[in-house]
Structure 1
Amino acid sequence: MSAFWELAGMFVSAFTSATLLPGSSEAVLAGIVALGTASATSAVIVATLGNTVGSVVNWAMGLFAARFRHHRRFPLTPEQYERYAAIYAKWGVWSLLLSWTPVIGDPLTVVAGVMRTPLWIVVPLVMLAKGARYVAVAGVVVML
């Protein structure tokens, strides 16, 4: 498989992993780095971009769906929304540095949209957080 297709798959995996859909982009990144068919740097950059774009989708969902937050099809339950909104209210935009974490990270980006946080603030914070996670994963694989 060519590096292009592996990196394209990395982007798709990272994108879907950042949305409220399940995914495991770290495993895909680790595989690409371990196989060495694409450079670790390229894989980290593509994973970071894909995951950040997925978070922007979450932010947009929150932005445009805020008025429907009590609807049964809203991506967060009322309890989840209240918990993430409390974290967001306490820590503000800096809570987006937790966007890399499992379980709470992706909903925080939805809440950022609901709270109407400007995209120019969301993108750098999310990209920094998610990029750091991918650098750490790639670093561990390279050291092994």
Structure 2
Amino acid sequence: MLFGYFSLFATGFIAATLLPASSELLLIALQQQGYAVLGLWLAATSGNTLGSCVNWYLGKELLRFQHKRWFPVSPEQLAKAELQFNRYGSWSLLLAWLPIVGDPLTLVAGTLRVRFGLFLLLVTLGKGARYALLLYLASKLF
């Protein structure tokens, strides 16, 4: 039984990093197998949030290398990302769960040195709400 929760935690973690993965199917499959909803929610939310924290940390450390030739982002791209992030502010971190844009958003938040406490609160709220909604919908549909 614990293996299912750990698998969901790990899948959620990987899905929140810049690596391509998805935790939603596993979440719903485990729910259908009778796993406790609260345990599933905790495993998915904590794993996914921790993965976003890794992105924040990498973003924070990334700028140390911006003057290297191999640095993958041009100063123009960095300025554009900063402008976009500042346009919507820290509240945009509530949407860190979104596909495609969510993971880079958490990286940019680290690059821009968003306070970690605020980052953690907003990302956890957004991701927790998403997983709660998925669990609720799955219970009604299946």
Q: Same fold (TM over 0.5)?
A: yes
Gaps of 5+ in 2: none
Say whether the 8 Å CA contact 1:12–1:50 is kept in structure 2: yes
Q: Give the match's secondary structure for 2:89.
A: helix
- The gaps in structure 1 that reach 5 residues or longer are none
Superposed CA RMSD in Å reads 1.8
TM-score (norm 1): 0.88
Match of 2:57 in 1: 60
User: Aligned residue for 2:3?
Assistant: 5
**Identical counterparts, % of pairs:** 39
TM-score by length of 2: 0.89
Is 1:62–1:112's contact at 8 Å kept on the other side of the alignment?
yes
Q: Which amino acid aligns with 1:137?
A: L
Correspondence for 1:111 among 92, 108, 113: 108
The higher radius of gyration belongs to 2
The runs of 4+ residues in structure 1 deviating greater than 2 Å are: 67-74, 77-87
How many residues align? The count is 139
Q: Which 10-residue stretch deviates more, 87-96 or 48-57?
A: 87-96
1:137 is the counterpart of 2:134 = yes
Q: Which amino acid aligns with 1:8?
A: F
| Partner in structure 2 of residue 34 of structure 1 | 32
**Structure 1 residues 124, 138: closer, same or farther in 2, change over 3 A?**
same
